[in-house]
Structure formats: C-alpha cells, structure tokens
Structure 1
C-alpha cells in the first residue's frame, strides 16, 4: 500500500489525493489519512508534537515520518518525540510545513513507506 500524495496546501487547508475531506491539520500514512485533532492528546504549539500524536502513524509500519511544524514554524518538536521515532527504527524529518509536504510527496513518489503529521497554519 502506498502513501497518498498531498494534493494541495494553503493556509489552514490541506487536501490529500483520493480523499474528499479538506484538513486543517492532518495525519497521513500508507493507505490513508485523517484529521489531526490536537485535542485528542492535549497538543499545543509548545511543547509541541508528542509521541502520542505519532503512535497511530507508527503503527501503520512507516519507515519515515515527516513532521510539518506550521507555515511559520510555531509548532515545536521536542527531542523526546524525535527519540521516540528513532527508538522505533523510524527516520524522522522535521521541516516548515510547505517544505515538509514537498519532502513527504517526494518520498511517497519514490515508494517509501512514509507517514506524516502536518500543521497548516502558524
């Protein structure tokens, strides 16, 4: 199963190819995507992305996770989150969201089992 292409990104809106939903923040993995609802894990810009935000994506058997920190990189990614991924044998890429989407799509196009979490505003 391949990772779906992120078809478009603009402030506050993301579209994933093959999905009719427009996301503000989203999670993607081989074969699927869904809204990334920060309320599920109590996530805020600081301290930022938590291992709990990534568990669902990790369970999909990804090789790489791309994290989009927002358009202005307001979303933090603590070292504990990076360590969590590395301990699970997963490569991690942390970038500003537009660059993160480009990297994610490039990896997906090469057939890498890539997942990601993307914040489309600040």
Structure 2
C-alpha cells in the first residue's frame, strides 16, 4: 500500500486525504502502509537537538526508501547530522525542509510511487 497523501498542512494541523482513514493531527509519522500521530513523548523528542534515530526507525521498518523530515513551520525543530547519517547508512535518501515544503516534497514522492516516509511537525 502506498504512503498516505497529505491534503493540507496549516499551523497546528496536518490533514490527510480521506482515503487514508487517518484523522487530522498536530504532528504525524507517515510511511508506506499508513501512519499515526507522532507523539514526541515516546522518544523524548524536543526541538533541540530534534529528530532522533529512534523517531525515524519506524519509517525504515515500514519500508521507506526515502524519508522527508520537517523542520517545523518556523524552522525550530532540529535534525541532527547523526540522524541523517543513520538513515543514509540504511540506504535511505533523506530530504529535510520547512514543514510546508516538506509536505510538497512528500506528496510529490508519493505521486511518483516512491516508498516514502515522513515526520511532520505542524507548529514552530
């Protein structure tokens, strides 16, 4: 099953296409075969240092060959080089961008049939 497409991202809300069967939410983990709300408390994620290996492992396990990591709407969420290096070591191509741009990259990859995963933070 392909990764679910994003319908829109606005401050505090990620909305997915109805066909995904997923509700709107603030932060999302999306990957081939589905997705879920991204609960930062599960891994102790904070704006600094940002997205950790433990945040992206689920995307790789779900079969993502490319991963899109959002920096937040105001670029406040970090993406440590260690996280990028770990993903690349798994053979995964990494894209890092502001959240709105990250959503556009992610949707383009879904449309191209790429097995893509993404982490989307819809506020700061």
Match of 1:31 in 2: 33
In structure 1, stretches of 5+ residues that fail to align are none
Q: Aligned runs of 1:1-122 on 2, under 5 Å?
A: 1-17=1-17, 18-122=20-124
Q: Alpha-carbon deviation of 1:83?
A: 0.6
* Superposition misfits of 4+ residues, deviation over 2 angstroms: none
Give, in angstroms, the shift of residue 20 of structure 1: 4.1
Distance in structure 1 (CA, Å) of the matches to 2:91 and 2:24: 31
Unpaired runs of at least 5, structure 2? none
* Contact kept? 1:70, 1:96, Cα under 8 Å: yes
Q: Give 3-state SS (helix, strand or coil) of 2:15's partner.
A: strand
Cα deviation for residue 2 of structure 1 reads 0.8
TM-score, scaled relative to structure 2:
0.96
Aligned residue pairs: how many? 122
How far apart, in 2, do the equivalents of 1:77 and 1:9 lie?
A: 20
- Alignment RMSD, CA only? 0.8
Q: Distance in 2 between matches of 1:94 and 1:20?
A: 24
Cα pair 2:22 2:36 within 8 Å, conserved:
no
Q: Secondary structure at the match of 2:47?
A: coil
